[in-house]
Chains A and B, each alone.
Chain A
Amino acid sequence: MTRLVIHRLLQAAAVIAVVATSVFVLLQFAPGDPFATSLDGTDVPPGVRAEWRARYGFDLPPAERFTRWAGALAHGQLGYAASQHRAVAEVLADAVPRTLLLVGVALALGFAAGVFVGLLQARHHGRWPDRLLGAMTLGGVAVPEFLLGLLAMTWLGARWRLFPVAGLASEGDAAAWSAWERLLDHAWHLALPATVLAVSVAARVARHQRAALLGVLQEDYIRTARAKGLGEWAVLWRHALPNAIGPVLALLGLALPSLVGGAVLIEKIFGWPGMGLTLFDALLARDYPLILAATLLATILAVLARALTDVVAEFVAPRRTQGGA
């Protein structure tokens, strides 16, 4: 186990270094200027933009900028987000918890719903509930998140007014609300974006869970359990699921990066000021330090999640490394 952890950490460090360098190099080829859009008035003298570029070292050669950036990073300094007139660390400190909350809730919702649907499909294998749910999960995988988000925002938010269209919390006398009321209000605002993000996770998990369960249900110990007189749900829940959950857990590690990616559009649609929206705005503004830091952080999160998933999978389904002994 220790070897596995060390191996995964080394892999993670290499991936992070490669991603950071690649993003920095790619940004050099992207046309644009960090101060092009913010200082684009007819009344802005051209010299002002040059002054701002010089102030933050954008007039230096790329190699020198990379060296400076990497050196500062080694000292824990992420730089200055010129598009927001704030330190990058401050911007991320605001945005990251919101994205973690959104993605965390979406992951939990998607995982729970996916496992449940997979169980239902396995329980009714070959019959109409299986086929109906199969079609629905296929749809869930196929429909792009942004389209689902726009539809949900338009119909459930703007038209039927069941959920708020955007934002973190309702406007009103928040000071007079109890902690419980504030929590509920926050959850109400989180519901639509998290559910939209959860749909594709649930669909993927359900399809994998169904396949894994159907494989496990052929095993001898399942037949033995049934022979003992256990009900079908008990067999599924107590014997099949624990042995079929490992591949699905591994899937979650793979789902996290795409969830963070999906969060970019979902946060934009629902006005959820998390890391995705921050990254999107930073890209449009060519705010290089912020883009680099956000990309780096997203990479670290994805790599760590993957490593953690591998380790957890080892605990949940240890047979794989025990060679079936």
Chain B
Amino acid sequence: MNPAHSRRLILALLCLAAACRGRDAAGAAGGTLIVSAGADAETLFPPLAVGNQGRAVTELIYDKLADIGPALNTIGDVGFVPRLAQRWEWSADSLVVTFHLDPRARWHDGRSVTAHDVQYAFAVWTDSAVGAAQRAAFATVDSIATPDSLTARVHFHVRTPEQFYAFVYTLIPLPSHRLAAIADTALHDAPEIRAPVGSGPFRFVSWTPRARIELAANEQYYRGRPKLAGVVFAVAAQGATVAARLLSGEADFLEQLAPPDFAQLPASGSVRTAAYGGFDYGFMQFNTRDARNATRPHALFGNAALRRALTMGIDRATIVRSVFDSLARPAIGPFSRTQWTADTTLTGIPFDAARAAQLLDSLGWRVGTDGVYRERQGRPLAFSLLVPASSRTRQASAVLLQAQFKNIGVKVTLEQADFNAFLDKAHHGAFDALMGGLRTTPSPRGVRDVWGTPTTGRGAQNWGRWSNATFDAHVDSALAATGTTAVRAQFRVAYQAAIDDAPAIWLYEPRMFAGVHRRVNVGTLRPDAWWASLADWSINPDEFLPRDRRAAAKP
């Protein structure tokens, strides 16, 4: 072998060794990421952690069987990536999926992750005594069998296109050896829950409620240790404080910068932005039923022609520009552009104030004696708009809507309520119109709960009690279809029906910009879970701060 060949061979071996080490190849791993969080985790018990912060922390501590892929596909198992399950296979009738667990997977206390942990988690999630919020995700699951310690066989009693997504996206295996002895009704506040032992890339260190949660890298993580040494979620309840923490350099990451924060970025000198897709959209929802008697249509908004005329009178582009500058786009319909079923070619109701005025005239709503507001048979064209006091963007949008409605002769009274009271009124249908905002999920299924006709199995969150048979039928067909093309086609018709019938004025879709300290290298931020790739984030050792030099927290 000549020297040149030898050198090439050695180089190839070195490259191979580096590749085999995976995350360890980063070598100088370390540093602590401080996340500026606007809320504390409500719990670290996965079945009850429904808020964004609770999900972020628990999903760093616990691994799922498989995770959704970058395309966020929810049909079948296309694109899903292995986590605790190394692989999985389907039965011929698609009613059984068998997960083969990674034998290297360990709980943070060193015990192996077993199929029994999957079975136990399923039992916990579906037990009404536990009160898990998302147990509806397992409605199609019949049982879980464990042929051996590394095999979990999930039996479904019915096939649905999203059965795999619903199961793996929701279920987080729990350590049965630590929790099984605790009564299900006592699980939610058991000491073992407040100091969780998980299977994920980070392990729990400490939690000071309303102040901070500290996690440390799991050095024995079966998929290679994370590049960061630790993560701290530093909690502050005030929006301005959350941003100030990042801008002052006390924190490294903020999930979403608000429009006013951008003006301060240059002065901070240490923060850059990272764009990623968002699942949020905002709207002004009409209540189509009478606020006092739901069996009667709303005196104004029971009329679709009036809803369309009002929608036509609103210049949404101007509202979005005024409230968000370039940090949002006008919404298209009852979905966000990030959802894979989104369709940007749908035809919206265009802004045309003159045409809106003509339509209102034709409906009998004519400008009254004051020369400003319209009335019909002595009744003014007026309604109240319920706005949550907790949202600055919704408040600002509501004020602009009020002004634009005045231009077409409609009197709007703004009614502010704190978020809890807002939800209470919304749930009871005690409003004329409200400023709504939704964070959707990768699955388009939620649209049935929010906009479907309120009845069993749909419309639980349809506060405006809008009902449209075309929409319902096509959503049902879409959710039953197995091919992505068929699903998209059905949703296209359903979305267009919603846009045409105007149960709401679709206002905005915020663009998501995270604030990141320049020293932090972040990967791709997944729209539904920015933390999904956090184990791969890193901090350049040359830019370590004093706070990065901390002793390894004890397991």
Contacts and interface: CB of A to CB of B under 8 A. Distances in A.
Interface string B162-182: 000000000000000000000
24 contacts: A31-B417, A32-B421, A36-B423, A36-B424, A39-B50, A39-B133, A40-B423, A41-B50, A44-B136, A51-B131, A85-B188, A85-B193, A94-B209, A154-B244, A157-B244, A157-B248, A166-B241, A166-B245, A168-B211, A171-B232, A173-B549, A269-B240, A273-B210, A273-B211
Contacts of A273: 208-211, 235
B380 to A, nearest CB: 26
Nearest to A168: B211
Given A48-B135, A51-B128, A153-B241, A158 B420 contact: no
A171 B34 contact: yes
Contact of A166 (B128, B132, B236, B249): B236
Interface in A2-39: 30-33, 36-39
Contact of B133 (A30, A44, A86, A174): A44
Given A41-B133, A165-B244, A172-B546, A31 B48 contact: no
Interface stretch (A105-113, A218-226, A236-244, A277-285): A277-285
A91 B438 CA distance: 31
A295 interface: no
Contacts of B438: 42
Most chain-A Cβ atoms within 10 A of its Cβ — which of B131, B193, B425?
B131
Most chain-B Cβ atoms within 10 A of its Cβ — which of A31, A36, A95, A165?
A165
A154 B267 CA distance: 12
B48 A173 contact: no
A83 B40 CA distance: 11
A45 interface: yes
Contacts of B132: 48
Given A150-B240, A167-B211, 5 more contacts: A31-B424, A33-B423, A42-B438, A86-B209, A158-B264
A46 B455 CA distance: 12
Interface in A165-186: 165-168, 170-176
Given A31-B424, A37-B423, A45-B136, A84 B209 contact: yes
Given A38-B42, A42-B449, A271-B236, A48 B133 contact: yes
Interface of B: 32, 34, 42-43, 45, 48, 50-51, 128, 131-137, 188-189, 193, 208-212, 232, 234-238, 240-241, 244-245, 247-250, 264, 267, 390, 417-421, 423-425, 427, 438, 440-441, 446, 449-450, 460-461, 546-547, 549-551
B388 to A, nearest CB: 10
Contacts of B209: 84, 86, 91, 94, 273
Contacts, number: 169
A268 interface: yes
A42 B42 contact: no
Contacts of A87: 189
Shortest 7 CB-CB distances between A and B: which pairs? A271-B236, A273-B210, A173-B550, A32-B420, A158-B244, A42-B446, A172-B547
Contacts of B449: 42-43
Contacts of A43: 133-134, 136-137, 441, 446, 449
Most chain-A Cβ atoms within 10 A of its Cβ — which of B45, B240, B249, B446?
B240
A161 interface: yes
B42 A83 contact: yes
B72 to A, nearest CB: 16
A125 interface: no
A40 B136 CA distance: 14
A43 B137 CA distance: 8
A127 B268 CA distance: 44
B238 A268 contact: yes
A159 interface: yes
Contacts of B137: 43
A164 interface: yes
A281 B237 contact: yes
A208 interface: no
A204 interface: no
